[in-house]
Amino acid sequence: MKFTDAEIRNLKPQAERYYVRADGPRGSGTLALRVSPNGHKAWEYEFRHGGKKRRMTLGSYPEMTVAGAHAAHGAAMLKLERGKDPAVKPTPKAAPTPQSEARASPATFTVKKLCTAYMNLHAAKKKSGAEDLRMISVEILPAFGNRSASAITRVEIIALLAKKALTAPISANRLKSLIHMIYEFGVYEGLLKVNPCLGLKMPAKEHPRDRVLSASEIQQFWGRLETAPIAPATRHALKLLLITGQRTDMVRTMQWSEVNIADRLWTVPASKMKNDTVHRVHLSPMALDVLAAMSNTGVHVFPGDKAGKPFTETVTSTAVRRNLAHFGVGQWTPHDLRRTVASQMAELRVLPVAIECVLAHLDRTVAGTYNRYNYDREKREALDAWSARLTEIVGTTSLSGVNTARTVNSNDHSAHIAKS
């Protein structure tokens, strides 16, 4: 048959499937039209390969037109004439790996490609992966992104770090650590031969922070917190930091599903913990007051501007920094509240091991490896004692901010846990 649209439309379905073949020589196979009982029509190529009869579907009619079928038939015949089986689809070419790219052309394996490989193969599994990506985007790529990774010199890295250290010395140290990790990853994975950061010193000296708020400073901060121009969620988050001594990120991402009011327990999943271990935080009376002041209609205790998301990482630190003059207790950060809680508990004669457990510090000693006791009772007693002491300091058991306390000092306390 000479295939035309008119001829094909006249082909009616029958009880059994049948084929109509194109006119012409059949040395390199035949173009055929298959007509199914349900009326479906499809183009096929009939041929012999390796001494066997073969058949391959080219496409459905009318989606594949007559002209399209002839073109597909011609391409299939060409493959057959070259000794290839036209029904066998070619194996797709494997996507290049970072290793193959680096070996094939070291000069074109850029810092951007190295950073992409680092994020995909390593940093994506890290809890700090988002921060790594931020520093890569803001600091590393603008400086070196399109340069060959192997061409970046030690001198250039030192210059970049020195410039950063002028305005943000601690951030410069973090940047140095990240660049070192990225290049170390590259060497380990066979992407690079040399890490230019080996033996490189930190660009700035770091001094361990020792800021602890005194009882009188706590009293003043708590009282003035109510009148500070801070969003209610941020205000309550700062209070919970001081009440529980937990990390800012744990409090920020706290979810109602983690809270059991009846058992007075906040269970932080291992996925949020630095030590990858479930952490249980006893909810003292003051902690319960904070939770009672928050709406529990959403996912997060401290919701952000975006639905279903907590407020961002910098909210509490920014709120404190902008209101230092209002608080009037000198320079401090939200993380200093955690150190303050630990120090105040020590004054209450809480055992050091209980304080460490409250703070979720991992005991890496041999004894810690074998000791599987959870210290939940000691943590509960410590946090209740601190709640009682904090209530005494701020002079109120409510969140109203009304200060009914007398002037206090760091040695004036009665609630404590005495252990011997």
Omega before 229 within 30 of 0, i.e. cis: no
Output 86 or 400, whichever has higher pLDDT.
86
132-154: average pLDDT = 94
Q: Is pLDDT above 80 for 101?
A: no
1-10: average pLDDT = 89
Output 169 or 180, whichever has higher pLDDT.
180
Task: Judge contact between 290 and 232, C-beta under 8 A.
Answer: no
* pLDDT-derived band at 370, boundaries 50, 70, 90: low
Amino acid at position 163, single letter: K
- Cα–Cα distance measured from residue 234 to residue 39, given in angstroms and rounded to the nearest whole number: 68
Give the closest residue to 150 by CA, choosing from 187, 118, 178, 100: 187
Helix (H) or strand (E) holding 267: strand 265-268
Same fold across 98-188 and 215-394: no
Report the CATH architecture of 98-188: Orthogonal Bundle (1.10)
18-22: average pLDDT = 90
Report the CATH architecture of 5-81: 2-Layer Sandwich (3.30)
Report the pLDDT value the prediction gives residue 364, as an integer from 0 to 100: 57
Report the pLDDT value the prediction gives residue 400, as an integer from 0 to 100: 40
Task: Judge contact between 73 and 47, C-beta under 8 A.
Answer: no
Task: Judge contact between 408 and 363, C-beta under 8 A.
Answer: no
Report the pLDDT value the prediction gives residue 198, as an integer from 0 to 100: 93
Name residues whose C-beta falls within 8 Å of residue 351's C-beta, 6 or more positions apart in sequence: 378, 417, 419
Tokens describing residue 395 = 């002079």
Burial of 417 (C-beta count, 10 Å sphere; 0-12/13-18/19+): middle
Task: Judge contact between 20 and 7, C-beta under 8 A.
Answer: no
Domain boundaries, the chain: 5-81, 98-188, 215-394
Q: Long-range contacts for 96-101 (Cβ within 8 Å, ≥24 apart)?
A: 98/189, 98/191, 99/189, 99/190, 99/191
Report the pLDDT value the prediction gives residue 104, as an integer from 0 to 100: 66
Q: Is the pTM of this model over 0.85?
A: no
* pLDDT-derived band at 82, boundaries 50, 70, 90: confident
Q: Edge-to-edge, what's the strand order for the sheet holding 18-21?
A: 18-21, 30-35, 41-49, 52-61
The alpha-helical segments, DSSP class H, found in 261-365 are: 285-292, 315-322, 324-327, 334-347, 352-358
> What is the β-pairing status of strands 18-21 and 265-268?
unpaired
Helix (H) or strand (E) holding 383: helix 376-394
Which residue(s) pair with 49 in the sheet?
52
Tokens describing residue 309 = 């998301």
Q: Is pLDDT above 80 for 212?
A: yes
Looking at domain 215-394, its CATH class is mainly alpha
Q: pLDDT tens digits, residue range 346-364?
A: 999 999 999 999 999 876 5
Give the closest residue to 211 by CA, choosing from 316, 336, 346, 324: 336
6-17: average pLDDT = 92
- Cα–Cα distance measured from residue 273 to residue 271, given in angstroms and rounded to the nearest whole number: 6
